[in-house]
Structures are given as C-alpha cells and as structure tokens.
Structure 1
Amino acid sequence: MNDPMNRLTPEDDLQLKTHSILPNLMTPQGVWVFDEPLPKETWIRVNEHLAAGFGSRRVRRTRIPFARDWWDTPLRTHPVDFDDRPVPENGYLDWIWEKGEVDLDPYEGSVYRLSVSPTAAGGQIISYVVSHVVLDGLGGILAVGDTVARMDSDAPPSRTESAGRLVGTTPAQRRRRAHLADARGQLKEAGRGMRQAWGARKVKLRPRNPRPELPRLPLGNRWIPSVTMAEISMAEWNRVAAERGGTVNALYIGVLVGLYGRIGRVSDGDEVCVVVPHSTRVDMEDPRGNALSSKAIWVTYREGTKTDLGEIRRALKASLSESDVENKPAAAYLGAITQMAPQFLVPIAAKSTKSPELLCSNLGNLPQVVAGIQGKRAKVAFGLRMAATDPDNYRRWEAGLMCLCGNDGETMIMQIAGLDPDRFPTRESLEKLVVEEFNEWGLHPTFWG
C-alpha cells in the first residue's frame, strides 16, 4: 500500500537522536542585512507564511514496533521576535549568536524562529534559525524561497498551496494499518541492509589524523565555538583561482586546508580528510527535511607553501566518478537498523561519534528569491550555529574546522567555525589565522563585527 504519511528518513532520525542528547547542537541559520527597514507588518506576514510552509512541521511518534515516526503539522509556532535595540555594525555576530539561542521543539512544532532588529545604520537585520531535525541548510533555503515568492506574488498563507503541502499530515483512518505496513517494510529494509553490510565488510575507511591532546587550555565547563563571517570579492576570488590553476571550489578547499594546517593538528605532507556535503534532494517536490550526503577527499597539507589546487581538482573529480558501492563501509548500510535502535542506546553510541577534521560546504550562487523581499535587496549569509557546551565534548568529537559559503555573484560570504577549543579558543584567534592564510594567497577578507 502507498504510505499516507511522510515518514522520517534515517537522516532525519539521526538529527532527532542527536537532539535528544544535546538539543539544538547544530542549527541552520540564515541572516539578512537590509539597508532600509521593512515594516513590522511585513515580517508578521512572513512569519505566517513560514508557519504554513515547508519547514513548519513536528514529529509524531508511533507505538508500533519498527514503524517509523512521521511528520505532521505543528501544534505551536514561535511568534516573531521583535527586538527594538539597534544593532551596531560591530555587533552583528553577537546578535546572530544571541538570536540563535532559542528553544526549538520538534515534537511540538515550534521548530524555527524569525528575529528582527534595527541596525544602528538605519537598516534592519533578520535571523531565521530552524531545527536541524526538520531541515538541512538547503531545506531552509527552499522554505524561505517559497515564503518570499508567495509574499512577492501577494498570495495568502496556505498549507495546501505552498510547499507546506509536502510536509504531510495524519490520516483520520487506517493509521494502524499504515504503521504495520511500514514496520514490515522496515524489517525487510533492515534485512537487506545487513546483507549489504556483510558484502561490504572488507571495505575500510582511511584513518583520520589523530587530534593531539596538547595543548589543553583552561576553558571551564562551557565554551562558545569561535565563529566568524568573512566577506571576499568574487572578482578577487576568481582571479586567484585562475592564477593557481584551480576552480572557485578548489580554491575554497585549498585555503581552508592551509588554515587547518596552521593550528598544528597536521604536519607537512600529511593528508587532511575534507568532507564535502552535497544535496540528494531530487526536485522541488521532494518532501524530505534532511536530504544530504557527503564525499570525503584527501588533500596534502604543505607547510610554508600553498595547497596544490590541481590535486584538489583531481580528488574532487575522482570522488564524483567513484562507485559508492565500492567505497561504502558496512555501517553505511545500517540506516534502517539504526532508526530502530531504542533511545537508551543513543548516548552509548554517541560516545564514539567523531566530527569531521575539515568540512567545506559551498552553496554556490544563492537563488535571487532569497536575496531580498518585496523589491528590497539584502546582504545574505547562511551558516550552522554550533551550541555552547563543555569543551570536553568538542575535544572528544575531535572537531576541527567547518566552513559554509555562498555568494551573490559579486561577494562571497563565508561562515568559518573553529570547533577545536584549544586551537581556536576565541573569535579573535580564529580571525588572525584566517587573515594570515588568506593573505598568503593574495586574498583580503573583511569580517562582520
């Protein structure tokens, strides 16, 4: 039978399990800075559209063993957070961090919040933060894009006519029958996954570079990850990429490998594992909240000189042509089994979780539909807000460096997050290393305050 419910995928379930241990550890966040303010009524309407849209959903739990949870419409959403305190230009990053601190509840449906403040320069700054349980970064862009498009066409908020229709709901009848059918399907999928895992038992992942235990700074029991926003001219970026025989993306990875090498976690000649996320979203009708996969490439760090962009281009090309079947480890086939795992096992499994050494996500040229509203253009940045927690957590995860970027054709804006507390203890220490590495390439970033 066709399932009448939009079920959580293994990727959704992974985010939900993470949320159960460390709520809102990693939340997608979009930021817009307008030169001129829009009236409060406009943002109230935007919020009404968001509340009926693609990102407004909640998790419904099933009592049928092995059946998956499903998505439904929310019980409650957050109102717009209007904060009338003017934000100075050198206070944007602190404001972004503050507005990302919000209780997002995937079971209730209060999974996003829109915040609005005036800028000291007479403009307006906007934050849209959303739970990673319900949306990945591109999903957030799609939710915002659909809202802006409907606002610009003067369409009313509508769950049935907007992308919110893809979320699904709960049928009035035959729910138990649907759950039993899903449970049978999941058991079959688990069996198939176990057979595939057995076939992949000899596939081994390359070991990552170990994180040195020293230095270990006295940071107390709560550390805020060091995050900055850097702007760079696309003309300058394209020129340097061409001079070095690389592409925009190869230069992006090359510069970040050099930055990673500067913190002392790898030595000259070591290969850094770079995780490059990519979307698996099929089309605009894809109902999945999280639809991401990733490729890992290995790039040689060269102390005292620049990363070889040709090596990166070859590695990226090879990663696209490699067969996933040949390179998938056994654990990658066990999504259905992981989704069935009882909650009490989650903290045990989480103890062995590792964060990427270096994650580089490039959103490319952002769709024009998310670059403004009702004819007013804005400076736009997207990133992931990493929560403050005990620095020992980030040490245990062996977290390194994470970067997300996008551009409007003229300017690239990069969110760079230093997640190693002993090597990026403060934003200032991160920005100092960014300037040193970027200047080495002939790049001249400016930072948000």
Structure 2
Amino acid sequence: MERLSVVDEIFLRTHRGLGTPIALQGVWRTADRVDPALLDQLHAALRTGRLGRRVLRARVPGARRAWRPTVRAYPVDYPATPIPGAALLDWADAQGAGLDPEFGPGWRLAAVPVVDGGTLVSLTCSHALADGRGLVHAVDAALARVAAAREDPTAAGMRSGADGTDAVENISAAELSGSMDHLSGAADGPSIPATFGGDSDWIDARRQWWTVLRGTARALRRGIPRRAVTTETEGRELSDRPPRTAILQFPAEEWDRLAAEQGGTANSLFVWLIANLLWDSGFPRERIEASLPVDTRSEPRTDNDLAVTSIGVTRADDPATIREKARVAYEYRMTSPGGMPEEILQVIPDRWAHALARGAGERDILCSNIGSLPDTLLTLGSHRCTGVAARAIHPGLRQLPRTRLSGYLCRIGANYTLALVGLDPVFESSAALVELVGRRAGKLPIPIESWQPRSLT
C-alpha cells in the first residue's frame, strides 16, 4: 500500500484552508487549433496514470493516509469560443478551482482556442498529488502512451473496448462529473481494509508511533523546542484581488551566456532577477530571504519529492555571490519543526500539525527552478507548441502568506520560460507586473517576450 509522505500531507492540509492553497499547472501554447480527439486521448491516459489516484483516510489513529487508484476526473473542458490573447492567463488562473485530492477530482485538463488561431492547453493538479517535476513526469508518460496508442492501440497499455475505443472512456457521464455523490463507487480501486498483515493500517500506525515517540524523546533531551516564526503577515486578510501573474520566455543560450559572464549560473541569475524585481516593486528592506525548493528524487516519480532551503540576498549580491550562497545552502536544508521527528505531523490532528509547521518554507520570495523539460512536451500530437510553462497557482487564496513574489523557471528546447506570481497587493495588476519586468529587462542585454501580447525588449 502506498502511503502519503509528510510533504504530501502538508499540501493536503492546504485544501482544507490550513495554509496557502497551491495547485501545480503546466501550460502549452500551440500554433494551431488542437484536435479535440487528441485531448480526449490525453485525458484517458492521465486518468489511468499516476495522477489517477485520491487520498484514502486511515482507519487506525497514527497510520498514514494512503493513495487509492481512481479514474474519476473532470471531463475535458474545451469551449468553441476563442479568447483574446490578453485573457490567456486570466483563463489559466481559473483552472485551479474545485480541485480536491481527497473527496473530488484532484486534477483537470482544459483547453481554449485563442483568437490568433492557436490553442492554450492547461493541466492543473493539486500539489498533494505531485510537485512540479512530478507533474512533468506524469504528463510525459501520458503523452508517450498517447503516441503509442496512435501507432498501435494494442501496445499503449490501455484496454480497448469492443468498438475499438479505450474502455476507460466508456465510464458514464455521471462518473465523469466529479460530483460528490459519485466518489465511492466502482470507479475507485479495491477497498483497503485496516487489517493485520502486509502494509496494514495497524502495522503502519505502530511504526509511526514508535518513530515519533523515540524521536520526540531524543529531541526533548536537548530542551523544549520553540517554533520559529516564519510568517510575518499572519492574520492579514487578502483583498478581493487574485494573485497577479505573468509568463515570459527568452533564449536559453543568451541567458546562460549572461549568467556565465557574471560568474553565476542560470539558476543564480534567476534568483538575482526575482530578488531585484521585488526591490523594484518597493520592498523596503536591504535583505531579502529567498526560499529555494530542491528536487530530491533519484528516479522519475510523480510524488512530491522535494526539500527546501533558503538564502539571504542583499542589494550588493550578484549572480556569482548568490551562486556560492546557494551552493552552501543546499547542504543545509530545512528540517522538521524544533528538531522533532517530521512524522509527528502525521500522527497529531491536522490543526495541530498546521500550527506546528505553519509557514514552513515561506520566505520573502520563492525561486523554484523546475529544470529542463523533455523535448517531447514541445508537441501535442501533431501540434507544434510555441511556448510551454510550468508554475504554481493559488486558487481560493484568502490570507496573505509571507511570500510576496514567486518565480518558476524551466527550460525547454531553445528557450527558458519564467512564470511569475505576485502575491503582495503592491502588484496592482498583471499588466503592472509585466511592466515591472519590462523595466528590469531593459537592463538585461537579452530579448524577453511576454505571453501577454507585447514585447519587453
């Protein structure tokens, strides 16, 4: 039985209003209109892939929640009416609504035609289901199955129905609706009993409690731990405005060259840029704390497999000094609260766990380098992609986190794509965020294009 990790459960709690809600999103821009049949095939492959699962509550106190296979999902949303280019990100930002990895579908595939003749395609999932790199692995595997199915339907790992269609597509419309009334029927995998034998709830609970009690006793011998205060905006309510967003892309070769000329790397130049954008917005302090997620997987996995570290950035820093700070920080990643065993967050009530770990990983800025994406994502079937982005969005955000500005960097083909999310009210609009980038981009000798319909340099 596959169990949730500590990180999985942290993101699961955010869906209950305990922390900052986070959904991961991959976005493609294609040069032409995407074939609806292709989206249906991709949807079927995702439903029976690693995203096709939901959280099952444990029946024994202390046992971890488990993953249960399910093919229930929201149907593909692909309206016929195109949207203008200026509305691309507004549409994409709305695709995180209604995701629930426990009681409802945890992911959504959607697309919309664009007035210029192309299509915007979005795959959004709860952060409990996957991290950024994990979402990449999930969609890459699904696209491989779609490609195999088109070449040889019997070799793609999908069961074929009598009429030649995928059997998974024969599930009723009621089961596809995502209604709360249809979440416990035959579309889920087999039930998981809380019995002895194998990886049962009883055995898992015993293991968890033993780890927690032994680790807590060891921590208490060093004194009563104190929870560090990491969120300086706790209790400040967010206005009605959603986070402001922007997506930019620029030549990878020129970005790498610019970073090397300054003694840095593509990643340290990225961190430098996000920090300076925050200062350009009027951030008053001379030091910015940056949160840096680290991919810890040793093999392609969809699950959350990450750690977080942080560095302090000053106005005197350049990509070279940031590179050195990050190198040292990667050796000292954030640990469990107060030196307690991290498993304690899985055996105590959710509200206690949230209070103990509140604000974990949040700093003034978030700089998430997702890395290189496989070239297979440059096309959707026969459709060429003019841009691919990966980012996090915050559906239903009601309270300001400490993080004021988030950046998500990925490389695909000859380009880097940078997605920005402005969480602080100082970012009055997405257009204002793009303008801010434009002023900073004017100081960088590389061309930067915005997904919003304008060029920055």
Q: TM-score, normalised by structure 2?
A: 0.82
Instruction: Indicate yes or no: 2:250 matched with 1:239.
Output: no
State the match for 2:392 in structure 1: 384
* The one of 282, 294, 297 aligned to 2:308: 294
Match of 2:432 in 1: 429
Task: Tell me how far 1:223 sits from its aligned partner.
Answer: 2.1
State the partner residue of 1:261: 279
CA contact 1:212–1:265 (8 Å) conserved in 2: no
User: Quick one: which amino acid aligns to residue 316 of structure 1?
Assistant: A
Does residue 400 of structure 2 align to residue 400 of structure 1?
Answer: no
Pairing 1:309–2:316 present: no
Find the partner of 1:130 among 117, 125, 150. 125
Conserved? CA contact 1:24–1:132, under 8 Å: no
Q: Counterpart in 1 of 2:165?
A: none
Counterpart of 1:432 in 2: which secondary structure? Answer: helix
Summarize the Cα distance change of 1:209–1:334 in structure 2 as closer, same or farther, 3 Å threshold: closer
Q: Quote how far apart the aligned CAs of 1:232 are.
A: 1.7
CA contact (8 A) 1:82 1:117 kept: yes
Q: Confirm or deny: 8 A CA contact 1:115 1:127 kept in the other structure.
A: yes
Flag the 1:280–1:440 CA change in 2: closer, same or farther, 3 A: same
For residue 2 of structure 2, what is the aligned residue in structure 1? 6
3-state SS, counterpart of residue 81 of structure 1: coil
Aligned partner of 1:414 among 402, 418, 431: 418
| Alpha-carbon displacement from aligned partner over 1:91-148 (angstroms, at most 9, x marks no partner) | 21122123x1431222245111111222222222211111112111111111100001
Q: Counterpart in 2 of 1:281?
A: 297
Question: In the alignment, residue 12 of structure 2 is paired with which amino acid?
Answer: L
- Unpaired runs of 5+ residues, structure 1, are 160-167
In structure 2, distance between residues paired with 1:275 and 1:72? 32
Contact 1:205 1:329 in 2 (8 A): no
Q: Deviations over 1:178-224 (max 9, x none)?
A: 111101100112124324534776999998796799xx9xx984220
Contact 1:363 1:406 (8 Å CA) reproduced:
yes
The gaps in structure 2 that reach 5 residues or longer are: 150-154, 160-187, 453-457
3-state SS of paired residue (1:21): coil
Q: Partner of 1:53 in structure 2? A: 49
Deviation at 1:381, TM superposition (A): 0.7
- Alignment match, 2:338: 331
Residues 328 and 140 of structure 1: CA distance in aligned 2, closer, same or farther (over 3 Å): closer
Change (3 A) 1:133 1:208: closer
Which position in structure 2 is the counterpart of 1:225? 243
8 Å CA contact retained: 2:225, 2:339:
no
Q: 1:153 to 1:201 in 2, by over 3 A?
A: farther
CA distance, structure 2, for counterparts of residue 428 and residue 380 of structure 1 = 20
Distance 1:332 1:382, change over 3 A: farther
1:364 aligns with 2:378: no
> More deviation in 272-281 or 7-16?
272-281
Aligned partner (choices 114, 123, 138) of residue 119 of structure 1: 114
8 Å CA contact 2:11–2:22 kept in 1: the answer is no
Query: What RMSD over aligned residues (CA atoms) do the two structures have, in Å?
Result: 3.1
What is the match of residue 380 of structure 2?
A: 373
Instruction: Determine if contact 1:250/1:312 at 8 Å carries over to the other structure.
Output: yes
Q: TM-score, with normalisation over the residues of structure 1?
A: 0.83
Number of residues paired by the alignment?
416
Counterpart in 1 of 2:450? 447
CA displacement at 1:438 relative to structure 2: 2.5
Task: Supply the distance in 1 between the matched residues of 2:339 and 2:144 (Cα, whole angstroms).
Answer: 37
Matching residue of 1:190:
212
1:345 equivalenced with 2:345 (yes/no): no
Residues 248 and 182 (structure 1), Cα distance of their counterparts in 2 relative to 1, 3 Å cut: same
1:365 Cα shift? 2.0
Q: Distance in 2 between matches of 1:192 and 1:34?
A: 54
Distance 1:209 1:76, change over 3 A: closer
Deviation at 1:405, TM superposition (A): 1.2
For the residues of structure 2 that align with 1:244 and 1:352, how far apart are their CA atoms?
33
Corresponding residue SS for 1:20: coil
- The Cα of 1:14 is off from its aligned counterpart by 0.8
* Whole-Å separation in 2 of the counterparts to 1:77 and 1:23: 25
Letter in 1 for 2:195: R
